[in-house]
Structure 1
Amino acid sequence: MPQNDPLCPDDPKPRLGRPPADGAAPWDPAPLREVVGLFGRAGCRWWIAGGHAIELAVGRELRPHADIDVLVLRDDQHAVQDALAGWEWWAADPPGSLRPWRRDEYLHPGVHDVWCRPEPGGPWRIQVMLDEGRGGTWVSRRDATVCRPVAGIGAVSPDGIPYLRPEIQLYYKAKRPRPKDEQDFDAVLPLLGTGQRTWLADAITHTLGPHPWTARLR
């Protein structure tokens, strides 16, 4: 089974390792407000990602979501354990097996996803995605030449929720766009400024080559 792709959270989920005894626990995504309350005490930069980030950008609900995703930089990963103290944390090891993430263990590049739940055997509630940062620069794990200042990767909703900027989220969705990704692209495209469109078109072209979205972005 392929490794789950961070920032493209609807990709197939990793299979569970051993233990737990529940085999393949279901997802019951935590409500957005609950996630915001938990990570508000994290003491690090964090952003709502995935389809919820697109909805925060457009200001309305677009579709149901199978999970909820939070992005943090790799060097801030232990703040996740503090924010979700008392929860279970499971790291997705390549090529896609979950195993317990030990307290204070440092997850090195190659491990990008952590599944979290409040109690053993319960449904998964939050997915945390680890992305790379070098100094004050965010670096795409897919293409190290695609980068921008960390201060420029997020936005804040009118009610104060930090979220990943839509052009970055769409960059990750562009690799294998599914109908829901096309829906997200259509919804947010009219709201993208010239600079956002140019950045996204250039990033997609550099990483993926010719792509049907770039003509619309240009």
Structure 2
Amino acid sequence: MRTDIYNWVPITVSEVSGIFSDIPVKWGIGGGWALDLYLGKQSRAHADIDVILFREEQLTAFAYLSKDWILYKAENGKLTLWNEGEFLASTNDIWVCRDDESPWAFQIMFVDTEHDFWIYKREKSIRREVKDIFTETGGGTPYLKPEIQLLYKGGSAEIREKDQKDFLKVWPSLLPQAKEWLKSSLNIQFPNGHPWADSIENKNF
């Protein structure tokens, strides 16, 4: 078990793309990098880099990645080895390193699907067709669509300062249908109100 949770030296987007382009799974960049790929420029420093994978394809990903990387389950504040053949039904977060002495290089986030629909884990009534959750850069790197990434950021227990800044930075450039989807999803998850949904409604941004 490792405890060095701040020992991050993340690899680049192009390095991630080089790794996962050889693995027969559906994947995309997530987190703050997904928003920057949408904007077409790096807007801030990123402490890590996230890769979105579908849970049902995890063993395929493990078989390829474990040849060159060590994979740890990050759950309940602990990091424990992910063992070969172990199907993770509830673990959502995997940290990846070259060896036990090297820093963390990238993070895998599992998302759930059902009947070709992605399911938002915090409010399972919010769904979207699997084929409609990723888009690509001009160079072909897939990433999570910005409205979905903003829902993950805004739907957490606490909106961090960087997430608030990301929202303010990205919102103006979203397409109308993306804006409506994010607003609707926030209202479903937070029927009693949410700062972003309220700002959208009142145009206070």
TM-score (normalizing by structure 1): 0.85
1:25-36 to 2 correspondences below 5 Å: 26-36=7-17
Query: Distance in 1 between the 2:26 and 2:200 partners?
Result: 29
**2:182 aligned with 1:200, yes or no?**
yes
The correspondence for 1:217, drawn from 184, 188, 200, is 200
Are the equivalent residues in 2 in contact too, given 1:38–1:83 (CA < 8 A)?
no
1:6-21 to 2 correspondences below 5 Å: 19-20=1-2
- Say what the alpha-carbon RMSD is for the aligned residues: 1.4
Q: CA deviation at 1:119?
A: 1.2
**2:54 aligned with 1:73, yes or no?**
yes
Following TM superposition, the consecutive aligned residue runs of length 4 or more in structure 1 with deviations greater than 6 angstroms are none
The correspondence for 1:147, drawn from 108, 120, 127, is 127
Q: CA deviation at 1:32?
A: 1.1
Are the equivalent residues in 2 in contact too, given 1:87–1:116 (CA < 8 A)?
yes
Query: Distance in 2 between the 1:129 and 1:205 partners?
Result: 24
Q: CA deviation at 1:27?
A: 0.6
Deviations 1:145-178 (A, max 9, x none): 0100001101101111100001001001113222
Mark the runs of 5 or more structure 2 residues left unpaired by the alignment: none
**2:130 aligned with 1:136, yes or no?**
no
Deviations 1:48-104 (A, max 9, x none): 0000000011111110011000000100112322342221100123x2211100112
Are the equivalent residues in 2 in contact too, given 1:132–1:138 (CA < 8 A)?
yes
Residue 179 of structure 1 corresponds to which residue in structure 2?
A: 161
Q: Does the residue aligned with 2:110 lie in a helix, a strand or coil? A: strand
Query: Distance in 1 between the 2:105 and 2:60 partners?
Result: 17
Q: CA deviation at 1:206?
A: 1.1
Query: Distance in 2 between the 1:49 and 1:68 partners?
Result: 7
Residue 8 of structure 1 corresponds to which residue in structure 2?
A: none
Mark the runs of 5 or more structure 1 residues left unpaired by the alignment: 1-18
Residue 47 of structure 1 corresponds to which residue in structure 2?
A: 28
Query: Distance in 1 between the 2:40 and 2:199 partners?
Result: 22
Identity %: 33
| AA in 1 matched with 2:24 | G
| AA in 1 matched with 2:44 | R
Residue 97 of structure 1 corresponds to which residue in structure 2?
A: 78
Residue 126 of structure 1 corresponds to which residue in structure 2?
A: 106
Deviations 1:8-63 (A, max 9, x none): xxxxxxxxxxx34xx41501101111111001111010010000000011111110
**2:4 aligned with 1:24, yes or no?**
yes
Deviations 1:129-159 (A, max 9, x none): 0010112100011111010000110110111
Are the equivalent residues in 2 in contact too, given 1:58–1:187 (CA < 8 A)?
no
Q: Does the residue aligned with 2:188 lie in a helix, a strand or coil? A: helix
Query: Distance in 2 between the 1:196 and 1:34 partners?
Result: 29
**Of the two structures, which has the highest relative contact order with CA contacts closer than 8 Å and spacing of 6 or more?**
1
Query: Distance in 2 between the 1:82 and 1:208 partners?
Result: 39
